[in-house]
Structure 1
Amino acid sequence: MIRKAKKIDITKIMEIITATIREMKSYNNTQWDETYPQAVNFLKDIEEGSLYVDELDNEIRGFVCINYIEPTEYNCINWQSLEKAMVVHRMAVNSNFRNQGVGISLLKFSEELALKNGVSYLKTDTYSINDKMNSLFKKFGFKLVEEMEFLGKEKPFYCYDKIISKKLRDEDKNEK
């Protein structure tokens, strides 16, 4: 079940972050480190109502922040659309639940949340060497738009977007 995150979830979220950073370091991915993301980032997301956790049997399987906040670096990107977009940030899957569709479930939820808010456009980004997220975004139908310099990192970030078509919305309604 995907639900809004609560302050009580921070400890488990930070455990997932610590494990994710350790794993990222093992393949030289420096997207996240000891300075970002921190608990304060997730507490702010919770206060704003934009952090969601995928929970099963009281275990957090993964989480994602979904809001309208676009980094200023997005202003220079040639996006597919000028429509208002929801943005996918700070997403991670608990290593105990990898390869079980949690990432796809979180992205599907992001899409459904956008549609529920009258938005049919999603944007996101990830470090160019974050093979797992790059693969996940492509698998879920995001289009690689451009790359940008971001957060002072040595390699570029890839920017992705996805237009949620009316056809998809109609198919979802018919399935219910």
Structure 2
Amino acid sequence: MIRKAVSADIMNVMKIIEETIVEMHSYGNTQWDEHYPQEKDFLHDMQRGDLYLSEREEKIVGFACINTIESAEYNSLPWSLQETAMILHRMAVAPARRRSGVGLELMNFAEERALENNMRYLKTDTYSINIKMNALFVKCGYQRIGEMKFPSKEKPFYCYEKVLRRVR
């Protein structure tokens, strides 16, 4: 089940972030660290109504921020469409719940949100060495359209898009 986050969920979200950072760093992925993402990022997402949680047996097993707010770095990329897109940010699945369909559920939910809002376009990005997220995006039919750099990161971020075939 997927639902909107409430303030009581933040501790569990941050626990998943801590576990995810440890797991990412174990294979050299420094996309997330003690500086980003922070609790304030998720509180802001939640206050805007953009933070969605995946639950199994009444436990939070994953989450994603889904909205239409694009990073300024997206402006110079060769996107296929010049229209409003649903953007997927700050997605994580609890390491103990990986490979159980949670990531696919969240990705499908982002597509449903786009269609519910009469959008046929999704965008996202991840660190180039984030092997797991890059693989999930490809598995879900996203196309890599370019890359962008952040001054604080050594390697580029890959940017992805997906054009949906139908709009409600």
- TM bucket (normalised to shorter chain) is over 0.9
The answer to whether residue 156 in structure 2 is matched with residue 156 in structure 1 is yes
Letter in 2 for 1:75: N
Question: Aligned with 2:160: secondary structure?
Answer: strand
Pair 1:50-2:50 in alignment: yes
Summarize the alignment of residues 54-73 of structure 1 with structure 2, pairs less than 5 Å apart. 54-73=54-73
State the alpha-carbon separation in 1 of the partners of residues 151 and 157 from structure 2: 9
Is residue 126–residue 158 contact of structure 2 (8 Å, CA) maintained in 1? yes
Is the contact made by 2:23 and 2:95 (CA closer than 8 Å) also made in structure 1? Answer: no
Counterpart residue number, 1:130: 130
Structure having the higher helix fraction is: 1
The secondary structure found in structure 2 opposite 1:124 is: strand
Q: 1:146 corresponds to which letter in structure 2?
A: G
So what's the TM-score if we normalise by structure 2? 0.97
**Cα distance in 1, alignment partners of residues 88 and 58 from structure 2:** 24
RMSD value, Cα: 1.0
Distance in 2 between residues matched to 1:130 and 1:160, nearest whole Å: 13
Secondary structure of 1:70's counterpart equals coil
The number of residues matched between the two structures is 168
Aligned-residue offset at 1:151? 5.2
Percent identical among aligned pairs is 55
Q: Counterparts of 1:92-103 in structure 2 under 5 Å?
A: 92-103=92-103
**1:117-166 deviations in Å (ceiling 9; x for gaps):** 11110000000000000000000000000011025200000000000112
Shift of 1:65: 0.3
Structure 1 range deviating more: 110-119 or 145-154 = 145-154
1:109 alignment partner AA: F
User: Unaligned stretches of 5+ in structure 1?
Assistant: 171-176
Return the letter of the residue paired with 2:127.
Y
SS of alignment partner, residue 123 of structure 1: strand
Q: CA deviation at 1:71?
A: 0.7
1:112 aligns with 2:112: yes
Most deviating of 149-158 and 34-43: 149-158
Q: 2:2 & 2:151 partners in 1: Cα distance?
A: 29
Question: What SS does structure 1 have at the residue aligned with 2:62?
Answer: strand
Moved over 4 A (4+): none
Over 3 Å counting, the alpha-carbon distance change for 1:112 and 1:151 in structure 2 is farther
Task: Supply the AA of the counterpart residue of 2:68.
Answer: Y
Distance 1:151 1:140, change over 3 A: farther
How far apart, CA to CA, are the structure 1 residues paired with 2:14 and 2:109?
Answer: 22
Q: Which residue of 2 aligns with 1:76?
A: 76
Listed as ranges, the gaps of 5+ residues in structure 2 are: none
1:34 maps to amino acid: E
Give the Cα–Cα distance (whole angstroms) in 1 for the partners of residues 21 and 6 of structure 2. Answer: 22
Alignment partner, residue 173 of structure 1: none
